[in-house]
Amino acid sequence: MQKTPHIEVDQEGIIAKTVLLPGDPLRAKFIAENYLSDVIQFNKVRNMFGYTGTYKGKRVSVMGSGMGMPSIGIYSYELIHFYGVKNLIRVGSCGSMQEHVKVRDVVIGLSASTNSNYASQYQLSGTFAPTASWELVKKAVTVAEQKNIPVKVGNILSSDIFYNADTEAWKKWAAMGVLAVEMEAAALYMNAAKAGVNALCILTVSDSLVSHEETTSEEREKSFTQMMEIALELAE
């Protein structure tokens, strides 16, 4: 095994089969410090921190993925193809597109619509629908129910654009029932589908395009713990 350009691991077994992927590397650090035991840090290339430890006796890793589909596309590909990761769970923030999806709600991305051209690499003759792994969706919903955490499950939008010149574009997606917008899940789902592994995106609503309510960056880093607790229970 050799190091990749972005992950400095050259030994078997350092990275667990289940990896949580927050966009923010400081959120990865927060999860490792507050939830994992016997933690080792396996990556700091580009300050994209990665850690492995145990949670309730099960080995689990957590690593930042950066912002946007190109970034998570790189990290998830390397984790799958170079390090044998089988379950990849994005934990991040999103913007609500629906009145009934409130700030701090937990959203599970059953599917991920996108305005990205990421799928063009597969040269498909139609439009691919990036979809989460049912096994992880089912487990996540069951865990949420056991913990009495209400979740919204449905279609999300993975957008390449944060500051959209068309400030009303989100309303067209909302009219199709899309719950919320983020920037990574579609690429993760496509990489996982192509490789035959499992992927899921669990999000906490950080702001609402409907009500304009929003949370602080510190809240997003440290207080969105319900989605973290659901994701950690999915470790095998």
Give catalytic residues, as residue numbers.
207
In 3D space, the residue among 157, 191, 199 whose CA is nearest the CA of residue 174 turns out to be 157
Element holding 75 (H helix, E strand): helix 69-81
Task: Return the amino acid letter for 189.
Answer: Y
Please name every residue paired with 151 in a beta bridge, in sequence order, or none if there are none: 106
Distance CA 12, CA 176 (A): 45
Closest of 174, 203, 178 to residue 188, by C-alpha: 203
Q: Report the run of H or E that residue 51 belongs to, with start and end.
A: strand 50-55
